[in-house]
Structure 1
Amino acid sequence: MTDAEYVNIWMRPERPARGPKPAYSRAQITEAAVRIADAEGLEAATMRRIAAEIGAGAMSLYRYVPSRDNLIELMADRLMGEIDVTDMPSGDWRADLTRYADGLRAMWLRHPWISTVQRSLPSFGPNQLLLIERLMGVLDAFVSIDENLGLVAMLNGYVEGTVREEVSSAEELRRSGLSEPEWMARSHPYVDQLVKSGNYPIFTKIVTEARRPHLSREDQFRHGLKHVLDYIATALPPTAGSAMPASREGREGQDGPARGS
């Protein structure tokens, strides 16, 4: 498909202006695709497989979802809808960002195939747009839009990087047939040899002194998230505290221009 032929999936009407009511919906197709990907991996979610799942003809589904890229866009946006941003901003920016980070991590863990989706460019589906409005609204009264983008990107980078490693490790363990303690026990003789060699003092310090590697995945995530949120706090004005002002204009009237304006 050429650039001239491309039409964003969200710009394509789901129902024709005239004619009979469609037999299926994008939501129905997307739900089936997500179920298949959850059970069998993203590559299994083909149009033929989805059609069999919902009892349709494979070619007929292209009337609703014209391409594989469109299907991935629909699936990714569907997953973003699982992240609860109700009542955000709430007035407590740290609590809001913590809730978002927990929701994003939980979504990735429920649907680990999302780690194989290589999409850097946003498609701005309805769930993603709602997420942008609510999530970036949390810091909007405190910082410029550019600083807001940077802080949210840092938070997303931490969560996605951490959970991507978590998903990858779980998959490696699954393939090995070992539990994490069993895998560590199997690695112990080589690690012990490295430590006793005296050639790797920093690695030895990690093995003998570091507490973090022995924490649960949950505690490791909490530990890192606290540091990210502490850094975000340094980028906010002292007036931010944990309370969200009613509006940027109201705060500017009392305290001067908003930071980053």
Structure 2
Amino acid sequence: MSQPALGAALFVDYARQAFERVVASNKDAVGAAARLFAECVAGDGVIHAFGTGHSQAAALEIAGRAGGFVPTSRIALADLVLRGGEEAAVLADPLLERSPGLAERLYALATPRPQDLFVVISNSGVNNSIVDLALTVTGAGHPLVALTSLEHTHAVPALHPSGRRLADLADVVLDNGAPTGDAVLPLPDGGALCGVSTLTSSLLVQMVVAEAVALLLAEGYEAPVYVSANIPGGHERNAVLEARYAGRLHRGGH
């Protein structure tokens, strides 16, 4: 029996093709998401990002990184402990992200204002905490951008009691193009190797930010963007910008 092809070069080739597919298929969605980002920032809003598991990587791409918007906040399950008073043991539950009833607490801990925007990230888009938060923020009138895999979400059953998925609730859906299960290189035992969603989701986030900044500048607004804190004067410059949003920027519990 022949062995499946593996190796770095094969994954790079797959990732390159995935990038091209994602760019082509999300052209309209990137523009629509960028418009929501720009309107939020221009209206003194904060962009809140939430993801669990490896989707936290895309939330980190949005909130608090060099080259990204200053008015951003990351929601994390750790907020329940670090700012919500729960015992640390609650985070040891491997199924915590699927538990019902978390969304309202996470939403309250984010201290959002009416003009704020939410970005919810989930490859499958079906876990309870993901759908609960999407329902909570849309019910409160906030715009919602979803970052998900449409192939994966439509290949698995909806877990939420409402029967809805993250993609069903969003104003804009960004499709990271990941296959069902995320990993892309088949293994001899029937498993697969190398997840691609982190790469394609990060690409989409940076595309949206780039387009949103272009919109803001073209329309005469300032674009409050972080510089690296590890260059001379970077920390001081960032602190001045952050001061405009005092008490509104949370970075996963901090």
State the TM-score bracket (shorter-chain normalisation): under 0.3
Structure number with larger C-alpha Rg: 1
More helix by share: 1
Q: Which TM-score applies when normalising by structure 1?
A: 0.26
TM-score, length basis structure 2: 0.26
**Whose strand proportion is higher, 1 or 2?**
2
Structure with the larger RCO, 1 or 2 (CA within 8 Å, 6+ apart)? 2
